[in-house]
Chain A
Amino acid sequence: MKQERVILSFIMVVIGLLVAGAAFYFYQTTKVVSTNSSALANPTPTESPKSTIFLSINTPASEEVVSNKTLIISGKTLPQATIVIVTNSDQLVVKPSTQGDFSTTVTLENDQNLIRIHSLSSNGEIATVERTVTYSTNSF
């Protein structure tokens, strides 16, 4: 009789564990994980009260190595801004589109080129981005 009780208790514990395991399994398989992380990844930018000018460069990437002497510089800024691009030996002034996009080309010199891109707003504020671009046809 005592042995039966022990076995019965053991069986009940096993059944209990199985039921708990099954419940956990169903919970895990039916759980919906939110994939909408955009709110975390792209927090709403808080505008600085001091400066409204911004400048982002799409191309070239920082420290890029290219095998073409003609380099496209593109990016985005304020539509009313004036873009000034200063290279080692040249300077360019371009106006962005009504959406603030701009794109122009510069001619690279051999080896490393330091390109400084400035965006000047009509009220004199400035935003600057630097890019080092290396012209090389050597393979390694």
Chain B
Amino acid sequence: MEKILKLFIILLALTFIKFDVFAATTSTPTPANIQNQIDELKNKIASKVAELKLVEKRGIIGTVTDSSDTQITLSDSRGGARFVDVDELTKFYSSDKSFGISDIKNNMTIGILGLYNKQSRRILAREVNDITTPPKIIYGGIGSIDKQNFEITVVKENGAKVVIKIEDVTKTYSYSSDTLSKSGFSKIEETQTIMAIGFPDKLDPNKLIATRILIFPQIDIASRINLGSAINPTIPPSTGSGKKLYPLTK
């Protein structure tokens, strides 16, 4: 019995000695190993630092969808909901000096400058600015031009038609031969590629009052844009009684 126990103890001791020897041989430091360990450590430190940097300064623009004394909910340009916290340190700026949290109403466009928490995805507002709604941009092909009313019908890629109203304040530019130069309404032609920047007409939501127009004569209209009947629409003359006169066809 004693023999067996002694043998067992010797075996056990040998096993552990072996382990130590192998462990020592496997962890023999080589320059490559040390470099790997340094890199690993660097990565760990970097990720830890990134974790700690939970808060960063950010500025956003959005349309108010909901507001209370301590929170504003915005819809950003992508339609995503953004949650903004307001506290006693938040400052409010507007042309109206008495502008405050109680003046924030739904559908207002505001700008927020604050501290964004990456974990909670909320912004603690430090500044709330009452800003004007950014202009809308319409891109497409010119389907028709109404020279009497100074209106252009633009066909978008999705097939929708938008009427662009040209006003005295509208600035027109043309881009050709790598140069953007001033142009005029009279130089705009059908089937040209257009980018119109402006604000929706309050009376007609399908109409855009243009502040700027960019024409690209050297860029083809996208193949997805179907100008179709928008080009030279045949408007039958009115008789004045509400009936339209159509030409006789053989």
- Which chain A residues have a beta carbon within 8 Å of chain B's beta carbons? 3-4, 7-8, 11, 14-15, 18, 22, 25-26, 29, 50, 63-65, 82, 84, 86, 88, 91-93, 95, 111-112, 114, 116, 118, 120-126, 130, 132-134, 136, 138, 140
Whether A124 pairs with B219 at a CB distance below 8 angstroms is yes
Whether A11 pairs with B134 at a CB distance below 8 angstroms is no
Whether B137 pairs with A136 at a CB distance below 8 angstroms is no
- In the assembled complex, the CB of B117 is this many whole angstroms from the nearest CB of chain A, namely 13
| Chain A residues within an 8 Å CB radius of B60 | 63, 112, 132
Cα distance, A112 to B141, chains bound together (Å): 31
Instruction: Choose among A120, A121, A124, A125 the residue with the greatest number of B CB atoms under 10 Å from its CB.
Output: A124
The proximity string for B residues 100-124 relative to A, scoring 1 for CB distances below 8 Å and 0 otherwise, is 0000000000011101100000000
Whether B113 pairs with A26 at a CB distance below 8 angstroms is no
The proximity string for B residues 120-144 relative to A, scoring 1 for CB distances below 8 Å and 0 otherwise, is 0000001101010011010101000
Q: 18 extra interchain contacts, Cβ-Cβ under 8 A, other than A11-B4, A25-B19?
A: A3-B1, A7-B4, A18-B12, A65-B59, A65-B113, A88-B135, A91-B180, A93-B175, A93-B214, A112-B113, A118-B139, A121-B219, A123-B220, A124-B193, A126-B222, A132-B60, A134-B59, A140-B89
B92 close to chain A: CB less than 8 A: no
Q: A111-B113, A111-B129 are in contact. Are A120 and B216 (CB under 8 A)?
A: yes
Q: A112-B113, A114-B134 are in contact. Are A63 and B58 (CB under 8 A)?
A: yes
Q: A4-B4, A116-B137 are in contact. Are A123 and B115 (CB under 8 A)?
A: no
Q: A26-B22, A140-B115 are in contact. Are A4 and B1 (CB under 8 A)?
A: yes
Q: Is the interface of A mostly helix, strand, loop or mixed?
A: mixed
The proximity string for B residues 229-245 relative to A, scoring 1 for CB distances below 8 Å and 0 otherwise, is 00000000000000000
Q: A93-B214, A140-B115 are in contact. Are A112 and B61 (CB under 8 A)?
A: yes
What is the interface residue range for chain B against chain A? 35 or more
B197 close to chain A: CB less than 8 A: yes
Whether B214 pairs with A84 at a CB distance below 8 angstroms is yes
Whether A138 pairs with B219 at a CB distance below 8 angstroms is no
Cα distance, A138 to B223, chains bound together (Å): 48
Q: A65-B113, A134-B59 are in contact. Are A15 and B11 (CB under 8 A)?
A: yes
Cα distance, A133 to B58, chains bound together (Å): 9
The proximity string for B residues 1-25 relative to A, scoring 1 for CB distances below 8 Å and 0 otherwise, is 1001100100110010011001000
Cα distance, A11 to B5, chains bound together (Å): 9
| Chain A residues within an 8 Å CB radius of B212 | 91
B173 close to chain A: CB less than 8 A: yes
Whether B15 pairs with A112 at a CB distance below 8 angstroms is no
| Chain B residues within an 8 Å CB radius of A84 | 195, 214
Q: CB within 8 A of B113: which of A18, A50, A121, A136?
A: A136
- In the assembled complex, the CB of A87 is this many whole angstroms from the nearest CB of chain B, namely 9
Give the contacts of B164-194 with A (CB-CB under 8 A): 173, 175, 178, 180, 193
Cα distance, A112 to B137, chains bound together (Å): 18
Give the contacts of B32-76 with A (CB-CB under 8 A): 57-61
- In the assembled complex, the CB of B75 is this many whole angstroms from the nearest CB of chain A, namely 14
B148 close to chain A: CB less than 8 A: no
